[in-house]
Amino acid sequence: MPLTRREFTRQSAFTGAGVALTGAVGSLATAPGALAAEDSADIAGQGLEQGEHGHGSHGPGYGPLIPDPEGLLALPAGFSYRVLAHAGVTKLESGEFTPSKHDGAAAFEGPRGVTLLVVNHELKGARTKVKHPVPLTEGLVYDPAAAGGCTVVETHRSGEVAQWVGIAGTSQNCAGGSTPWGTWLTCEETEDRAGQNGMTKDHGYVFEVDPCDRRANREPRPIKALGRYAHEAVVVDPKRAHLYLTEDADTPNGLLYRWVPPHGFKHGRGHLRHLADDAGVLQAAKCYDSGGRFVDDLSRATKIGTVYGVDWVDVPDRDGRTVPVRKQFADKDITRARKLEGMWWGDGGVYIVSSYARDESPLHHDGQVWFYDPKRRTLTLKVLLGVNPDPSKDGAYDGPDNITVSPYGGLVIAEDGAGVQHLFGATERGRTYPIARNELNLGSAEDPDFSEFAGIVFSPDGRTLYASIQTPGIMFAITGPWKRQSHRD
């Protein structure tokens, strides 16, 4: 049953401040330094402040980042990394090179202490134009013309690493999401049809990859019930069985979606791929404020703690046969947002990233993280990054992308902005701190170019943080003295 404007307005009036903030992150200031609002009077520059105080003193995190003599990752004192996979350098068990352009990833517990990592490769267009595409492993190919797909990286306690193909012949596999039943849903961020950009099949779908059962991945089939559009990420509500999905698109801006399964459907390994193409209902979010006023774009929110009520509007043609899904709605029908990116389930709801907003949106920002509470049917702004005036300087963050909930409290966020690129954390009170900095300069000293971070996920035991530099495609295992971030920070 939809949450009506009248119900939400009455609820907001009753609670005074709207809906109480929940989840792992409380608030984050709008300044590029990304400080908690209650701390902003005391601390002027988040990046410098951490460098001055160092590990174990004032401020959250692990202290300043130490330059890497190998020119890959700067990490805090006591932390180290290991390269697990490197495009064009390491090899799959078939003898072919690791594919390039690492993106979204998930970690699964395997037998006898093994960790299985499913890794997206965001390779678009014809595979003939890609130096290191995902190999066309027999039985695992959807479209032989496409360059993308997923690999599985198997890490052992002994340090041994093996890699193989999970799915091939898909396109622009960007993010995705893990499932409660132990599989990975990989998302194609494209709307290419057969005949476009060399493709022989339609693309823009979600596929399921099982890291534990290679046979389950044979004869890949798109989950058409989840729609065909520029997919970014997907999250499963383990209690209600709904799936939430983001769309990274513009002209017009993309949408936040919810898929409601058909009556009697039970989730489980491989169940999604056997759904009818029109199974369940795909819906788009429509938000309104505490006064019952429709919100056309999420960039309208300029204050931490902003709470919107959410209704869900049915998608007319989820396969976008003649009109792309996001263009099937008038602007007054749904709520849009630019660069809807990573998602993660935690604290009984969904953390959702809008990476930035520029002239295609009503207002500008350099990053938002929202929390959708399915019980209250509300969307709360948890993180807001102001426009970064100089991304070339270290110490400020912009362009959040992939996201994960940390076992040590708060969030870990991958930066995909301009200039310097970081992995950074946000505490439960909303203060941010650096975890890693990409030091692999793909440009020159005069005109540096640093690739985005992607695929951040902790190991099942919480001891290792896995992350990738997307270009050329290097996957790291980061270890060190992880600690619970203090509630006082």
Q: How far apart are alpha carbons 411 and 425 in whole angstroms?
A: 6
What is the edge-to-edge ordering of all strands in the sheet holding 173-178? 173-178, 184-188, 206-209
Q: Is residue 79 part of a domain?
A: yes
Q: With 60 as the cut, is the pLDDT of residue 22 above it?
A: no
Q: Is residue 233 part of a domain?
A: no
Both tokens of residue 254?
């993309």
pLDDT at 401 (0 to 100) = 96
**Residue 428 — pLDDT band, cuts 50, 70, 90?**
confident
For 332-364, write each residue's pLDDT tens digit. Answer: 999 999 999 999 999 999 999 999 999 999 999
**Residue 393 — pLDDT band, cuts 50, 70, 90?**
confident
Q: Which amino acid is at 437?
A: R
For 45-101, write each residue's pLDDT tens digit. Answer: 333 233 333 334 467 899 999 999 999 999 999 999 999 999 999 999 999 999 999
Both tokens of residue 482?
């992880």
Q: Is residue 259 part of a domain?
A: no
Total tally of structural domains belonging to the chain: 1
* Residue 270 · residue 209 · CB < 8 Å: no
Among residues 233, 254, 221, 257, the alpha carbon closest in space to that of 324 is found at 254
Both tokens of residue 67?
């330059």
Question: Locate tokens 């009753």: which residue?
Answer: 14
Q: Is residue 43 part of a domain?
A: yes
Q: Is residue 23 part of a domain?
A: no
Q: Is residue 486 part of a domain?
A: yes
Q: With 70 as the cut, is the pLDDT of residue 21 above it?
A: no
Q: Is residue 458 part of a domain?
A: yes
Q: How far apart are alpha carbons 179 and 307 in whole angstroms?
A: 27
Mean pLDDT of 148-168: 97
Give me the half-sphere count of Cα atoms (radius 13 Å) on the Cβ side of residue 484.
4
Q: How far apart are alpha carbons 28 and 30 in whole angstroms?
A: 7
Both tokens of residue 176?
């995705």
- Which range of residues forms the domain containing residue 74? 31-90+388-489
Among residues 148, 248, 135, the alpha carbon closest in space to that of 198 is found at 148
> Is this structure's pTM higher than 0.95?
no
Q: Is residue 235 part of a domain?
A: no
For 25-51, write each residue's pLDDT tens digit. Answer: 343 333 333 333 233 222 223 332 333
Q: DSSP label at 77?
A: T
Q: How far apart are alpha carbons 396 and 29 in whole angstroms?
A: 12
* Residue 125 · residue 175 · CB < 8 Å: no
